[in-house]
């Protein structure tokens, strides 16, 4: 996933935009998450400045078929409760 954003002179993130999607289910969550990040601001002549950046967030999604062939504990399966 590739996002663009403005890093403000106080380190806050602003104007987050999606450049390249990996999966539409992740887009809004990634945009919201990047908006919460805090950075050290860029400096020019020792003075903090706003700067436009491109952020790559690597996601590796398994196809749904692979999840069905994984062991039950990987899919969130829980053993039934037993009463003794």
Q: Any idea where the domains of the chain sit in the sequence?
A: 2-74
The better pLDDT of the pair 26, 52 is held by: 52
**Fold that domain 2-74 belongs to in CATH:** TolA/TonB C-terminal domain (3.30.2420)
Say if residue 82's pLDDT is above 60. Answer: no
pLDDT given at position 84: 44
Average pLDDT, the chain: 82
Sequence-distant (≥ 6) Cβ neighbours of residue 57 within 8 angstroms: 1, 2, 3, 30, 34
Nearest to 35 by CA among 14, 53, 52: 14
Q: 11 to each of 43, 46, 78, how far by Cα in Å?
A: 11, 15, 43
The better pLDDT of the pair 11, 64 is held by: 11
Say if residue 34's pLDDT is above 90. Answer: yes
CA 19 to chain centre: 13
The secondary element (H helix, E strand) that includes residue 68 is helix 64-68
């Amino acid at each position: 996933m590739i996002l663009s954003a403005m890093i403000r002179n106080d380190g806050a993130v602003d104007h987050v935009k999606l450049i390249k999607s990996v999966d539409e289910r992740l887009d809004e969550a990634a945009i919201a998450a990047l908006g919460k990040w805090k950075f050290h601001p860029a400096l020019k002549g020792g003075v903090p400045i706003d700067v436009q950046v491109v952020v790559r967030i690597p996601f590796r999604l398994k196809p749904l078929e692979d999840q069905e062939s994984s062991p039950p504990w990987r899919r969130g399966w829980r053993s039934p409760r037993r009463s003794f």
